[in-house]
Amino acid sequence: MSDKRRVVVTGIGIISPLGIGNEPSWQGLIEGRSGIDTITKFDASAFACRIAGEVRGFEPEKWIEKKEVKKSDTFIHYAIAASQMAVDDAGIDTKSLDSDRLGVIIGSGIGGLPLIEEMHQKMLERGPSRISPFFIPGLIVNLAAGQVSIRFQAKGPSSAPATACATGSHAIGDAYKVIQNDEADVMFAGGSEAVVTPLAIGGFAAMRALSTRNDDPRHASRPFDLNRDGFVMGEGAGILLLEEREHAIGRGAKIYCELTGYGMSSDAYHITSPAEDGSGMMRVMQRAMKDAGLQPTDIDYINAHGTSTPVGDKTETVAIKRTFGEHAYKLAVSSTKSMTGHLLGAAGGLESAVAALVVKHGIIPPTINYETPDPECDLDYVPNTARTQKVRHVLSNSFGFGGTNATLIFSAHDV
């Protein structure tokens, strides 16, 4: 392992239902505050699910020229803003970098669905001549990475994974490997999503995947709780600035943590449900630990995928127990989706940012709304209150429809 180039996290950019920026989002998490409320982006009164984790008060003009805003979908706006936050946080002058060694891997699970719905309605009402010439480049998934690449003149590796709810983690893992393989020195990586729309809410509700606790939105997302009834849609972005370790040290960068492990697997089981024995989840965690050169007993905390679905949370618990054995009961395991909802393709980006902050600050965010233990979910889920604890290694899980799995490991950086 020692001959591999090491990769560290030097910048973070977060837009979430808890706030715009790293500090409000992190404070909301450690305070155990819910960012979930009644949907305001459209009239949801006729929908089975009428709640979501919306981003409130985001003004794209603060980050993007006003004339450019209407040329792209909200998920692209979030990605640009969060990337700028990561640059500012890292204290890096991207113009001073070798542009061929600066890359971008930012994905989205769904992309520009709001723009699709808007333009479809406009076409029906006013005809095809009213479709914007910016419609296609404003909605396709890779234009978040493309726009960030243009903004920062990042001419190195660029791509945009779209692996459902594992997207953000796959993007970060892929960027980590790009730096390890000496194809770049600095990478933007993460995910962005903005699909609190009629079609998305209606579609996920039709699958019976969403919580219908409409009368009590702040308590609707309750991972691992016996009375969980589905996930709550969230939106936002989580972008990390990853940097080769010596490059970061050479410019005197602050370092949050080191990214030490990445694993991928597929359940090869079902289009939406995880393999019931947790085997796919177990394999991806094992592969990440092998990549990091760690043993199960080295892991202190798991930021769980923990979506608040009956099957998903039970299966992840099974997988953790199969992977870690007796150590599973000594681990802290929490789901920050209890506060943010599920950001789909951005979830892994946001939760990776959280993992980095946990290592840096030694505070583990709780699983809120954990009221009634589920006999089939019997681990330490850090219920309701944040925990101060030294954390050396955090494992972050992301699992997506189609059985695609990603696990990342963030470790304390020892200079």
Instruction: Please give the pLDDT value at position 3.
Output: 77
| Cβ pair 235, 4 in contact under 8 A | no
| Cβ pair 187, 209 in contact under 8 A | no
pLDDT in tens, 176-233: 999 999 999 999 999 999 999 999 999 999 999 999 999 999 999 999 999 999 999 9
% residues pLDDT > 70 (the chain): 99
Q: How sure is the predictor about 414, in pLDDT bands with cuts at 50, 70 and 90? A: confident
pLDDT in tens, 259-298: 999 999 999 999 999 999 999 999 999 999 999 999 999 9
The set of residues, in sequence order, having a beta carbon less than 8 Å from that of 68 and lying 6+ positions away, is none
Active site residue 305: yes
- DSSP letter (8 states) at residue 129: G
Instruction: Please give the pLDDT value at position 16.
Output: 98
d(CA 168, CA 188): 11
Instruction: State the distance between the two ends of the chain, measured CA to CA, in whole angstroms.
Output: 16
SS (H, E, C) 247-272: HHHHCCCCCCEEEEEEEEEECCCCCC
- The position carrying tokens 């779209």 is 162
d(CA 403, CA 413): 32
Beta strands in 47-174 (DSSP E): 51-52, 102-107, 158-159
Instruction: Please give the pLDDT value at position 237.
Output: 98
What the chain holds in terms of domains, given with CATH numbers, is: 7-250 (3.40.47.10), 262-411 (3.40.47.10)
Q: How sure is the predictor about 1, in pLDDT bands with cuts at 50, 70 and 90? A: very low
d(CA 16, CA 5): 32
- The position carrying tokens 């790293």 is 22
d(CA 252, CA 33): 35
d(CA 377, CA 355): 22
Query: What average pLDDT score do residues 144-156 get?
Result: 98
Look at strands 37-38 and 363-364 and give their pairing.
Answer: unpaired
Q: What is the pTM of this model?
A: 0.98
Q: Choose the catalytic residue: 165, 170, 377, 413.
A: 165
Active site residue 170: no
Q: Choose the catalytic residue: 305, 377, 393, 413.
A: 305
d(CA 36, CA 205): 17
pLDDT higher than 50, residue 246: yes
| Cβ pair 369, 133 in contact under 8 A | no
The token pair at 252 is: 């005197």
Q: Choose the catalytic residue: 170, 342, 393, 413.
A: 342
d(CA 320, CA 366): 18
Active site residue 342: yes
Would you give the distance in Å from CA 370 to the centre of its chain? 22
Would you give the distance in Å from CA 290 to the centre of its chain? 23
pLDDT higher than 90, residue 325: yes
pLDDT in tens, 345-388: 999 999 999 999 999 999 999 999 999 999 999 999 999 999 99
pLDDT in tens, 87-112: 999 999 999 999 999 999 999 999 99
pLDDT higher than 50, residue 336: yes
- Range list of H helices, 104-211: 113-126, 135-139, 143-152, 167-180, 198-206
Count H helices, E strands: the chain?
13, 15
pLDDT in tens, 60-85: 999 999 999 999 999 999 999 999 99
Query: What average pLDDT score do residues 322-344 get?
Result: 98
